[in-house]
Chains A and B, each alone.
Chain A
Amino acid sequence: MSTATVAPAGINTVVTEVVRRFGDRTVLDGLDLTIASEELVVLLGPSGCGKSTLLRLLAGLDRPDAGTVEVPKRRAVVFQADRLLPWQRVLANVTLGLRGADADERGRAALFEVGLGERTRAWPKQLSGGEAQRVALARALVAEPELVLLDEPFSGLDPVNENLFREVILELKRQGTTIIFSTHNMAVAEQLCDFIFMIYRGRKVLDGTLDLIQDSYGFDTLRVRVEGASLNGLPGVDRVTDFGRYQELRLVRGADPQGVLVELMRRGRVDRFERTRPSLHDIFVRIANPPTDGPADGLNPSS
């Protein structure tokens, strides 16, 4: 069932107490979400956590089993696969949902915007993967939506296409469009997003700006590079992650980083020592892959 409602000004999307089940598996379990207009929101979460399910609910492709989903009527979806109609030429694919005499003109403009102004007559099977994704993006742009949903838009793109997608998304945001996309690319999420939501086991476990989220963890991370020394059993260090060119140490709450530095210098030659807030990557891992030998930090959904 769907009913027309008028949301208060400044609010684009509201998800209230949404439950979605597949058989006896509850994928979304009482999810709440409020997204303001003109925001760029990233949806994080491990595979199978319900990101795509949520995006499908927002797109109106599925109905929730409980709760309500409120989204603008004018919305567009960029699916993970391009989903172009193979029997329509590129331009006809872009203008599929358009009405009016200027449809072709608008389609051409959208294709020009994604750098495919020359390929309006091509068949989808003649396009490269990146080009097909760009056509799918143009198809979403052309409707001038108030909400754009993108399911992992950056997966499988080369750096040039990634730049183009980022530019188009930022341009959409400048024009006042609200954008929600899911991704596993933490660097893109950190660079682009106003707001971050993370879903884990059907519930929202992170909700806020990158700064707020990182601040809640504090400066508890050390990036170090130490020649010829074992990093095992450092006092005050909870976990060591080896990134190859450097190692990340997570401090036990309240531990003194100076003490760790002294211990490191005692063990070997310290080439690098840097105290930072945890990266989004690290925060993701902490939530989705908590250490088995102890309780995870505060954001464990069961706590």
Chain B
Amino acid sequence: MSSLVLSPPRQVAVIEERAVDRETFVAAHADRSRFAGLRSRLSWPLGIYTTPLAVLLAWQVLADIGVLAPTYAPAPTSILRTAVSLWNQGVLGPDLEVSLRRALIGLACGLTAGVVIGIISGLTRTGEYLFNCVVQIFNTIPLLAVLPVMIVWFGIDELPKVLVIAFGAFVPMYLNLFSAIRGVDQRLIEMARTTGAGSWRLVTKVLVPGALPGFLVGLRFSLAYSVLGLVAAETINANQGLGFLITQGQTYLQTNQVFVGLVIYSILGLLADQFVRVLERVLLRWRPSFEAVA
């Protein structure tokens, strides 16, 4: 269709006088070769494990060429051999089991208390007045400083160890859950009230799901602090468990044995992190998050 309206002459001169910085955008990937997909997969084949594996590799090489003395930092393969032999001697298995049981019981107690009290405090004024100040004070007490009190009160058997782990898990879970519930968008709560949804719906459909991101942050800290509590409790007084293994290794200058304990602690930490990542992917499906750039 042709236009019958004559367009007015453009004032080209004016445009030319002012140089304009311009940007041109083209379709994503259009400027890459057909190997682009393969290349992007090859560029970070190990993903988040890149740095740990690089450190391990460097460590192995340095140990092999003799820069690191075996008594100072034994090679990863040597640590692995020690782990296997300790397992075969029937030492590592029971120790690991004892430690895991302590961690799980402590975590279960701490998380349950943190979630229950966190939700009560988050939802009600009464709960806030009863608990919040106390937990805020707990938060400023270092975990390691709690241990001596626990020993004085409860002796040196399982209870103080489990309590320290529970304490470590409880505080961050409570704090994060409380502030997450209080931080749920006021406008959404208002909206829910206007739809005629009752208190139960308000809690289960608005407040709890809205607080999930904060809950997961709390869980991450809780898992980390519970491992910390485990280490502290087992290192100071124990006759069984990973911490005992490490202390024993230190006493008899078995550097390998010390490292076996450390490696298992770090694997526990890694597993905890992976667990939270999976939870985040499942529970926060609704939230399109930032996909980092290349």
Is residue A251 contacting chain B, with contact meaning CB distance below 8 A? no
- Chain A hits for B190, CB < 8 A: 61, 83
Measured CA separation A77–B187 after assembly (Å):
12
Contact of A97 among B188, B201, B286 (CB under 8 A): B201
Binds B, one of A86-94, A156-164, A193-201, A274-282: A86-94
Q: Is the CB of A87 within 8 A of B209?
A: yes
Interface majority SS on A: helix, strand, loop or mixed?
loop
In the assembled complex, the CB of A143 is this many whole angstroms from the nearest CB of chain B, namely: 6
Measured CA separation A59–B190 after assembly (Å):
10
Is residue B206 contacting chain A, with contact meaning CB distance below 8 A? yes
Is residue A33 contacting chain B, with contact meaning CB distance below 8 A? no
Measured CA separation A74–B191 after assembly (Å):
15
Contact of A143 among B196, B287, B288 (CB under 8 A): B196
Q: Is the CB of A87 within 8 A of B286?
A: yes
- Chain B hits for A88, CB < 8 A: 205, 209, 286
- Chain B hits for A74, CB < 8 A: 196
B-facing residues in A85-124 (Cβ within 8 Å): 85-88, 92, 96-97, 123-124
Is residue B192 contacting chain A, with contact meaning CB distance below 8 A? yes
Contact of A85 among B188, B196, B285, B288 (CB under 8 A): B188
Q: How many residues of A contact B (CB 8 A)?
A: 22
In the assembled complex, the CB of B198 is this many whole angstroms from the nearest CB of chain A, namely: 9
CB within 8 Å for A92 and B205 given contacts A85-B188, A87-B210: yes
B-facing residues in A225-251 (Cβ within 8 Å): none
Chain B residue with the shortest CB-CB distance to A97: B195
Q: Is the CB of B195 within 8 A of A81?
A: no
- Chain A hits for B101, CB < 8 A: none
In the assembled complex, the CB of B219 is this many whole angstroms from the nearest CB of chain A, namely: 17
In the assembled complex, the CB of B285 is this many whole angstroms from the nearest CB of chain A, namely: 8
16 A-B contacts, Cβ less than 8 Å apart? A61-B190, A75-B194, A77-B191, A85-B188, A85-B205, A86-B287, A87-B210, A88-B205, A92-B205, A96-B192, A96-B205, A97-B196, A97-B197, A97-B201, A123-B286, A143-B196
CB within 8 Å for A139 and B205 given contacts A81-B187, A86-B287, A125-B287: no
Interface majority SS on B: helix, strand, loop or mixed?
helix
Is residue A60 contacting chain B, with contact meaning CB distance below 8 A? yes
Is residue B151 contacting chain A, with contact meaning CB distance below 8 A? no
Is residue B212 contacting chain A, with contact meaning CB distance below 8 A? yes
Measured CA separation A175–B8 after assembly (Å):
54
Measured CA separation A143–B197 after assembly (Å):
11
* B175-188 near A? 1/0 per residue, CB < 8 Å: 00000000000011
Measured CA separation A125–B212 after assembly (Å):
17
In the assembled complex, the CB of B184 is this many whole angstroms from the nearest CB of chain A, namely: 10
Is residue A165 contacting chain B, with contact meaning CB distance below 8 A? no
Is residue A137 contacting chain B, with contact meaning CB distance below 8 A? no
Q: Is the CB of B191 within 8 A of A83?
A: yes
Contact of B195 among A76, A87, A125 (CB under 8 A): A76
Is residue A79 contacting chain B, with contact meaning CB distance below 8 A? yes
Q: Is the CB of B286 within 8 A of A79?
A: no
Is residue B41 contacting chain A, with contact meaning CB distance below 8 A? no
Chain A residue with the shortest CB-CB distance to B288: A125
The 9 closest A-B pairs by CB, nearest first: A97-B195, A97-B196, A83-B191, A87-B209, A77-B194, A97-B197, A87-B286, A123-B286, A96-B195
